[in-house]
Amino acid sequence: MNRRSQMIKRISKSATLIGFVLILILGTALLGGCAKEEAITPPSTTTPASTLTEAPAKEIPQELTAGLGRDPGKQYGYGAHPSLTGVYEQLVWLDYELKPQPKLATCWEVSDDGKVWTFYLRKGVKFHDGTPFNAEMAKLNFERINAQKPGQLGPLESIGVVDEYTIRFIHSEPFAPFLHQLTWPFMSMISPNAVDEEGKVKEPIGTGPFKVTEYVPGEKLVLVRNEDYWGGLPKLEKITLRCIPDPTSRALALETGEIDLIIDTGGILPEHAAILDAHPEIEVLTRLIATSHYLILNCQRPPFNEVKARQAVQYAIDQETIVKAIVRGFGIPGKSVITPALSEWVDPEIGVKYDPEKARQLLSEAGWVDADGDGILDRDGQPFKVRLLLHSGLVGRWPYKAIGEVIQDELKSIGIKVELQVLAGGAWSKALKQGEFEMSMHPYTPLGPHFMLYDWFNSRGDMNLRRGVHYANPRVDELTELGKVTMDEKERYQIYREVQQIIAEEVPIIPIYHEVMINARRLNVEGYKPHPWFWVNWEEISVSE
């Protein structure tokens, strides 16, 4: 039996064991022009006349508990994750096709030169504390955001209040990603009473359909519906979001009815999906989302400061095998670094075929040989040994450890020794930022192509620096800067297509797979629809018998 067959057999045995344990335990854009704002019609409260005496309908408590693998109150520093909780809203949101749509803004206009954006805000909106939402409140929020995240609003010259419900942004040059940028959860509108003098959020007070009543860090976030929500009364009265880091425990909790729903990217591991789907009271829900999973290479640190070493790793990794054996088909093998969820921006010609012989050839050309016959390549007396860092929290949401083991085996076959290290989140982030690593697995969910290509590959890009890629190419810098100011999408596609081609050639990161998110509901939970940016449509969900 060859190495690849042994590897797949080992993976299959491991997954079967997990399933067996579970069974034993359980026994089973507008760019311009504004439409008139539509009035919201409240549901009728008139009871139709009847000559029959009917038994009173049984009332079903509109409460549910959802599980997920991360703390729903931690990210963004807002006390409630905007995408997962229904507490916050932005001026604009991304719909199920990842297209910008009105939310707290009813419509918007952009000037012909692409420098001036005008947003017309929804009337009758209040924050959870009763403070009216208007242009002044929006301006305060964007000033806070601009102070905390300089540059994220583009080359901003000014934010102006035109009238009570109109706000205007003026840029020094066009900023093509601006509309998508406003959909970022960090762009949430927060009551000014909930923000301290330094701009930090003291309380999670937004405009959304639900508000926070209790938060136990690392355990749960409890929400109740906003009786004054501008979009109408939500069906659910109470939601408890439970942080369950262990993926097997999450699956068990759904099977036993301890929770009613599993949400979020990385909510369910692939090996648990079939077991849950076989349960008569559970439906597994899947959707291609904007999240992709990458192998990051530190381009500043030997040996991956040389392009041939990076190219060799790319040729040695078989994404098809990983998707088939580890991800169980809940993903698409990585080709371009841009997710196919943004298919209109993907260069379809990009894709490197698995070719270990090509990998060996590249390493030989770079001077790597097995001088002592131990199976590990050497150069200048140094063996080709690298570390692959894994985030302990991410291991509980995606099969990173199993993927790491496959990569370890595949690179061993071409003479590279890989040491897997699982680090706590803080230590992992520190190691990446300081460049004290060679490889790491990382998920990323872009709002659009700019956020992938600029943030990761421009030499000043936030993710490029913060995650220790340290990739620099003057042509990529030039193109990603040009992409920011090019308003015509056809022209911008050609710019981003060239960037994708350069990245595929120079390999600062390797797309392993693009995620098909796995969620699941008990059948009495109705109305949940998985979103490609994992927003939860809480206002449309209800509970039946």
Query: CA dist 385 to 313, 420, 443, Å?
Result: 13, 11, 24
Q: Is residue 483 part of a domain?
A: yes
Q: Which residues contact 441 (CB under 8 A, 6 or more apart)?
A: 293, 294, 295, 296, 388, 389, 390, 391, 394, 400, 403, 404, 512
Residues 179 and 295 in one domain: no
pLDDT, position 57: 55
Q: Which of 192, 220, 237 is the last residue of a domain?
A: 192
Residues 388 and 498 in one domain: yes
Q: Using CA of residue 325, residue 388, residue 312, residue 290, what is the dihedral sign?
A: positive
Q: Which residues contact 9 (CB under 8 A, 6 or more apart)?
A: 1
How many domains would you assign to the chain? 2
Q: Is residue 52 part of a domain?
A: no
Residues 448 and 335 in one domain: yes
Residue with tokens 């810098």: 477
Instruction: Sort 52 into a burial class: Cβ within 10 Å, 0-12 / 13-18 / 19+.
Output: exposed
Residues 313 and 176 in one domain: no
Residues 327 and 449 in one domain: yes
Q: Which string of b and e fits 293-319 if b means at least 16 CB within 10 Å? A: bbbbbbbeeebbeeebbbbbbbbbbbb
Q: Which helix (H) or strand (E) holds 463?
A: helix 462-466
Residues 157 and 302 in one domain: no
Residue 323, classed as helix, strand or coil, is helix
Q: Which of 161, 176, 192 is the last residue of a domain?
A: 192
- Residue 198 Cα to chain centre, angstroms: 28
Largest distance between two CA atoms of the chain: 95
Residue of 62, 67, 68, 524 whose CA lies nearest to 281? 524
Instruction: Sort 152 into a burial class: Cβ within 10 Å, 0-12 / 13-18 / 19+.
Output: middle
Query: For residues 179 and 118, what is the distance between their CA atoms, to the nearest angstrom?
Result: 11
CATH number, position 306: 3.10.105.10
Query: For residues 136 and 166, what is the distance between their CA atoms, to the nearest angstrom?
Result: 9
Query: For residues 523 and 545, what is the distance between their CA atoms, to the nearest angstrom?
Result: 9
CB 378 within 8 A of CB 368: yes
- How large is the C-alpha radius of gyration of the chain? 25
Residues 295 and 186 in one domain: no
Residues 182 and 300 in one domain: no
Q: Dihedrals φ, ψ of 512, to 5°?
A: -80, -55
Residues 370 and 484 in one domain: yes
Q: Is residue 6 part of a domain?
A: no
CATH number, position 165: 3.90.76.10
Q: Using CA of residue 241, residue 246, residue 250, residue 256, what is the dihedral sign?
A: negative
Q: Which helix (H) or strand (E) holds 407?
A: helix 400-412
Q: Which helix (H) or strand (E) holds 520?
A: strand 509-522
Q: Which of 172, 192, 212 is the last residue of a domain?
A: 192
Amino acid, res. 285:
L
Q: Is residue 68 part of a domain?
A: no
Residue 281: count of CB within 10 angstroms of its CB: 12
pLDDT, position 56: 52
Residues 185 and 313 in one domain: no
CB 242 within 8 A of CB 214: no
Convert 147-216 into a string of H (helix), E (strand) and C (coil).
HHCCCCCCCEEEEEEEECCEEEEEECCCCCCHHHHCCCHHHCCCCHHHECCCCCECCCCCCCCEEEEEEE
For residue 333, the enclosing domain spans 291-516
Tokens of 305: 């400061």
Residues 311 and 186 in one domain: no
DSSP tag of 367? T
Tokens of 113: 């030169």
Reading the chain (545 residues) residue by residue, the pLDDT tens digits are 444 444 444 444 444 434 433 433 434 333 445 643 433 333 333 334 333 445 455 688 999 999 999 999 998 999 999 999 999 999 999 999 999 999 999 999 999 999 999 999 999 999 999 999 999 999 999 999 999 999 999 999 999 999 999 999 999 999 999 999 999 999 999 999 999 999 999 999 999 999 999 999 999 999 999 999 999 999 999 999 999 999 999 999 999 999 999 999 999 999 999 999 999 999 999 999 999 999 999 999 999 999 999 999 999 999 999 999 999 999 999 999 999 999 999 999 998 899 999 999 999 999 999 999 999 999 999 999 999 999 999 999 999 999 999 999 999 999 999 999 999 999 999 999 999 999 999 999 999 999 999 999 999 999 999 999 999 999 999 999 999 999 999 999 999 999 999 999 999 999 999 999 999 999 999 999 999 999 999 999 999 98
Which pTM was predicted? 0.89
pLDDT, position 352: 85
Q: Is residue 78 part of a domain?
A: no
Query: For residues 204 and 491, what is the distance between their CA atoms, to the nearest angstrom?
Result: 41
pLDDT, position 228: 97
Q: Which string of b and e fits 525-534 if b means at least 16 CB within 10 Å? A: beebebbbbb
pLDDT, position 40: 34
Q: Is residue 503 part of a domain?
A: yes
Query: For residues 299 and 283, what is the distance between their CA atoms, to the nearest angstrom?
Result: 44
CB 84 within 8 A of CB 534: yes
Q: Packing angle between helix 307-316 and helix 356-365, nearest 10 degrees? A: 160
Residues 184 and 308 in one domain: no
Q: Are strands 385-391 and 439-444 parallel, antiparallel or unpaired?
A: parallel
Q: Is residue 418 part of a domain?
A: yes
pLDDT, position 34: 66
Q: Is residue 69 part of a domain?
A: no
Query: For residues 210 and 29, what is the distance between their CA atoms, to the nearest angstrom?
Result: 27
Residue of 98, 115, 129, 107 whose CA lies nearest to 31? 107
